[in-house]
Amino acid sequence: MFKDRDFRTPFSDLITEANIFISHKDAKDYFFYRTEFTIKQALQGVPDQLTELEMIRMDLTRYADTLLQRLEEYEEYEMCKLVKEQMRSIYHEIFKMQMDLEKLDK
């Protein structure tokens, strides 16, 4: 038989993880939190910086999608909404970085 703590611990950890995700002010801040590198450091010495930036964006997107899926399992729809808003913001911010980098390459 399941005990209440068997449900609450993963749930509490998930809510903490979601709160951490939505509390970061921007993509640069969240990327540094996850990797302990700045985006600029991650791009240094990389021959194809646009592709690397795309990989960073896709990694953050996959992470947010997984987080959303797990939140939906607990029917935490209000938290899902906040995660989606944060993800949209991060996605657009990194996409803008890609566009700016593309302009520099021309």
pLDDT tens digits along 31-66: 999 999 999 999 999 999 999 999 999 999 999 999
- pLDDT for residue 82 is more than 60: yes
Which pLDDT band holds residue 8 (cuts at 50, 70, 90)? Answer: low
Task: Kindly state the average pLDDT of the residues 95-100.
Answer: 93
Name the amino acid, one letter, at 70: R
On the question of pLDDT at 102 being above 90, the answer is no
* C-alpha pair distances (Å), 38 with each of 1, 61, 68, 85, 97: 46, 18, 25, 22, 13
* pTM of the complete model: 0.82
